[in-house]
Structure 1
Amino acid sequence: MELLAILLEAMSAAGLAALGAGVSAIAAGMGIGKIGAAALESMARQPESTGDIRAGMIVAAALVEGVALFAVIVCLLVVLG
């Protein structure tokens, strides 16, 4: 019976918003990991362009992190509101 109560609570708007916050945080981590891996591979292939690649990587990672933070805040507003 307790599992059924947990599942019913998860189906509410607050539960779905909390799930959305978790998914957006995980997706952002995966995206930043992919950006970092691609940047390191590019730096290994062309060491002379390390500065340009690093700058592009930081900008792309900041944009991904900004979108993820926005998604988490919207989900938390649904939970608290």
Structure 2
Amino acid sequence: MSKQIDMPTVSYLLGILSIVLSFSVPFASLICAIIGLNKSTQLNLKESKKLNLIGLILSIAFGIVSIIGILMQMGDLNFPI
């Protein structure tokens, strides 16, 4: 007897996970958001697609901020402040 995986729930949870992870681990959040967005697009799920898009945007934004912060700490990027 095989178990059925509930893909709408998986896509919804990946959206929530991508939003939560975007604040601490933006690159893992990006992967979760892309996978969830792919599944929600395949299944035509509007609510989970919205969550995954929010997670994708947040992970890109916080990823850029993280890269800028790392470069500033290394001294490679100097802003005249």
TM over 0.5: no
Of Structure 1 and Structure 2, the greater helix share is in: 1
TM-score (norm 1): 0.38
* Higher radius of gyration, 1 or 2: 1
TM-score (norm 2): 0.38
